Chains A and B, each alone.
Chain A
């Protein structure tokens, strides 16, 4: 096994790390102090937007038998679900908006439109992942217990299949996350009390039932009814002229008419049901693909560092910040991109300050970069295509034995062009 790469903050003395910790604390404090009406307007606005798009999607899907309406409705629904999971759900559950003291936008009451329960997720994500970020053997998000994502993880033949099951995970990510919360590893090792397992299973199945009833039964049924209503109103006489005559001759006029109406309604209803069923399915898959992509780019691109448990023994607050900083990677993009990714394009800022309203990450990013510049630390970032590319290359490469840590970019050098910043440092 190769020797682990030297820490990107090994050059910092204890005093420097303490000072670094104070600087990060000060950023947090400053933002906390400034939070006010503008921030509330922002989150209320995003929530309003989500609900409007969701309503539009559901309305369009009432006519889901038409191809255009199906596509438009599915698109709206996918966008709504993405907004709801990323910028709203993830961040509210982090407690980013708890300061508003609003009982309906609060980490203790929020539930999201996905398979995992808020409660389980707050434990596995907010607590486990955000505390032990990128510590091998402690951070269960490192490869999600099913993938070899770091060369320091021991290879096993099962990993040969990881490029394939990763594809499955992408498509059904929400279910993967729900099961991940269960912590199958711990159950297998007998470390998780049965009572807790049962509690989790009850939670997941309740959540799953509600999601399935809504997306794959409820709304398809509503669409089916709408299709029947529209069909019967626009096309009163489903029988052909020949059938009509034949029925008359045999004196079956009334009965025949009823039968014909019924069978037409049945086809229309079934058509409406199926169309909306698949629309919901597609929207869920789109949301899953998107969430998987953004989330995997947060920690698995080449630039990030992982840590052994020895390296973090007796970690100070400053070192904790430094680990969060080098364990995460950003994605560059437009404001719209950041909105749709729940501002997880600012994964570095999010890991430094998980409870800060996401809308503030863009504002503090320059301060974080400035700290990186002054302390000789990396600031990991790159465009989506590059980050995604390196993530998937790792997944494919590490399916096979061996593999070395990828070369790291080194300390942040400022953005191309801002020499003044560098000169100032």
Chain B
């Protein structure tokens, strides 16, 4: 089944009323008729209307969305699954919420950066228009600030890794709690820094905010060894890192050897799925009901292999979050493309978007 949005917060009166007359509409629901008037009135899933799309530097854009019902709220640093209609097809992606949770106008925002060869981010950045309806999925993520700030903060971000941290900074700013924050942000070029102006503004206004922007195109990548110079007391701080896998891995190793790993929180802004230098052999996927074989090279999710072979595959987020893509594996060895763990399956349900074949695999579809 295709992925749905999260159930909205609907007043109990309304819910009860709808339920009372439901029998008159079976097998449809009263909602099916109300949606004709306004698609945001669906009480089955939360939808939102795009209010503005604001271009940001570095090939990103902030999409401001007004949810149809009360927004469930989020903690800064969390992400939301967004369902977008592109050329007749619903696509789901998870994006960090960049809005502060208590925006007075009730809007929420995400700030995708255009990924070359992608489907959803180029659409959101270049083609999305105000008035468009999007579906809002579950709010998820544990990359959040502690309830009480007991120590100084250190943010290490790179590229789009700035997005969850932006929401944190905005909230801290709103509550006047930017008292002791060090932020090291890497970007390829100096003027391609997403939210660059806002960061500079914060830097200027708050003595407790120390921003270091690393221009990697000019000065090379930031390495953990440099922490001692940029932020000598890094060991005492609650650290939050978000960016590409290599950076996160390096930080993790550094904290393990020289600091307290408990204090380092990491968030990958892009799940690592496959890629050019993927491990493993790959294999062939046999779709039992279709009686069809699909080639599944190393690093290719079964979902993609199936689609390329012309099989109608169920999918949602495509990053292993939503479980829409699950199919039953009759037999075969599969590789988890995120962890590279290989396992043998017998009649087991598997997320096809994050697993590749390792040898012959037979799937019930």
Point out residues on A near B: beta carbons under 8 Å.
29, 32, 35-41, 48, 51-52, 55, 95, 98-104, 106, 108-109, 111-113, 210-211, 213-214, 218-219, 222, 355
Nearest-CB distance from B291 to chain A (Å)? Answer: 9
Task: Tell me, in angstroms, the Cα distance from A35 to B27 when the chains sit together.
Answer: 28
Nearest-CB distance from B351 to chain A (Å)? Answer: 16
Chain B: CB-nearest residue to A38 = B88
Nearest-CB distance from A88 to chain B (Å)? Answer: 11
Task: Tell me, in angstroms, the Cα distance from A51 to B37 when the chains sit together.
Answer: 11
Report the number of A-B residue pairs with Cβ-Cβ less than 8 Å. Answer: 75
Contacts of A35 in B (CB 8 A): 88
Partner of A218, one of B3, B23, B36, B315: B23
| Interface residues in B13-41 (C-beta closer than 8 Å to A) | 23-28, 32-33, 36
Chain B: CB-nearest residue to A97 = B88
Q: Is B323 an interface residue (CB 8 A)?
A: no
Nearest-CB distance from A214 to chain B (Å)? Answer: 5
Contacts of A41 in B (CB 8 A): 88
Interface size class on chain B is 20 to 34
Task: Tell me, in angstroms, the Cα distance from A9 to B74 when the chains sit together.
Answer: 64
Do A37 and B23 have beta carbons less than 8 Å apart?
Answer: no
Q: Contacts A29-B310, A35-B88, A51-B33 given: A101-B24 contact, CB under 8 Å?
A: no
New A-B pairs, 8, CB < 8 Å, besides A101-B90, A112-B27, A210-B27: A29-B310, A36-B89, A48-B36, A51-B36, A100-B90, A108-B1, A113-B28, A214-B24
Q: Mark B1-17, 1 if CB is under 8 A from A, else 0.
A: 11110000000000000
Nearest-CB distance from A173 to chain B (Å)? Answer: 18
Chain A: CB-nearest residue to B88 = A40
Q: Is B246 an interface residue (CB 8 A)?
A: no
Q: List 5 A-B contacts (CB under 8 A).
A: A103-B3, A108-B1, A112-B27, A214-B23, A214-B25
Nearest-CB distance from B322 to chain A (Å)? Answer: 11
Do A106 and B2 have beta carbons less than 8 Å apart?
Answer: yes
Partner of B88, one of A37, A108, A210, A355: A37
**In the complex, which of the residues B2, B36, B44, B316 has the most CB atoms of chain A within 10 Å of its own CB atom?**
B2
Contacts of A219 in B (CB 8 A): 24
- The majority secondary structure among interface residues of chain B is loop
Q: Contacts A51-B33, A101-B2, A103-B3 given: A355-B312 contact, CB under 8 Å?
A: yes
Q: Contacts A95-B312, A109-B1 given: A52-B89 contact, CB under 8 Å?
A: no
Chain B: CB-nearest residue to A113 = B27
Contacts of B1 in A (CB 8 A): 103, 106, 108-109
Nearest-CB distance from A347 to chain B (Å)? Answer: 22
Do A213 and B90 have beta carbons less than 8 Å apart?
Answer: no
Q: Is B214 an interface residue (CB 8 A)?
A: no
Nearest-CB distance from A55 to chain B (Å)? Answer: 6
Q: Is B147 an interface residue (CB 8 A)?
A: no
Interchain residue pairs A-B with the least CB separation, the first 10: A40-B88, A111-B27, A101-B90, A103-B2, A108-B1, A36-B87, A103-B4, A210-B26, A37-B88, A101-B2
Chain B: CB-nearest residue to A111 = B27
Q: Is B210 an interface residue (CB 8 A)?
A: no
Task: Tell me, in angstroms, the Cα distance from A293 to B160 when the chains sit together.
Answer: 60
Contacts of B33 in A (CB 8 A): 51, 55
Q: Is B66 an interface residue (CB 8 A)?
A: no
Point out residues on B near A: beta carbons under 8 Å.
1-4, 23-28, 32-33, 36, 44-45, 85, 87-91, 310, 312, 314-316
Task: Tell me, in angstroms, the Cα distance from A95 to B24 when the chains sit together.
Answer: 27
Q: Contacts A32-B310, A108-B1, A109-B1 given: A102-B90 contact, CB under 8 Å?
A: yes
Task: Tell me, in angstroms, the Cα distance from A138 to B280 when the chains sit together.
Answer: 44
Contacts of B90 in A (CB 8 A): 100-103
Nearest-CB distance from B47 to chain A (Å)? Answer: 12
Contacts of A95 in B (CB 8 A): 312
Do A98 and B26 have beta carbons less than 8 Å apart?
Answer: no
Nearest-CB distance from B104 to chain A (Å)? Answer: 33
Nearest-CB distance from B315 to chain A (Å)? Answer: 7
Do A99 and B89 have beta carbons less than 8 Å apart?
Answer: yes
Task: Tell me, in angstroms, the Cα distance from A401 to B191 when the chains sit together.
Answer: 89
**In the complex, which of the residues A35, A101, A106, A109 has the most CB atoms of chain B within 10 Å of its own CB atom?**
A101
Nearest-CB distance from B30 to chain A (Å)? Answer: 11
Q: Contacts A51-B33, A95-B312, A99-B312 given: A210-B2 contact, CB under 8 Å?
A: no
Partner of A39, one of B88, B310, B314, B316: B88
Contacts of B91 in A (CB 8 A): 101
Contacts of B4 in A (CB 8 A): 103
Nearest-CB distance from A170 to chain B (Å)? Answer: 23
Do B88 and A218 have beta carbons less than 8 Å apart?
Answer: no
Nearest-CB distance from A106 to chain B (Å)? Answer: 5
Do A101 and B36 have beta carbons less than 8 Å apart?
Answer: no
Task: Tell me, in angstroms, the Cα distance from A352 to B186 when the chains sit together.
Answer: 56
Task: Tell me, in angstroms, the Cα distance from A134 to B35 when the chains sit together.
Answer: 42
Nearest-CB distance from A42 to chain B (Å)? Answer: 10
Chain B: CB-nearest residue to A84 = B28
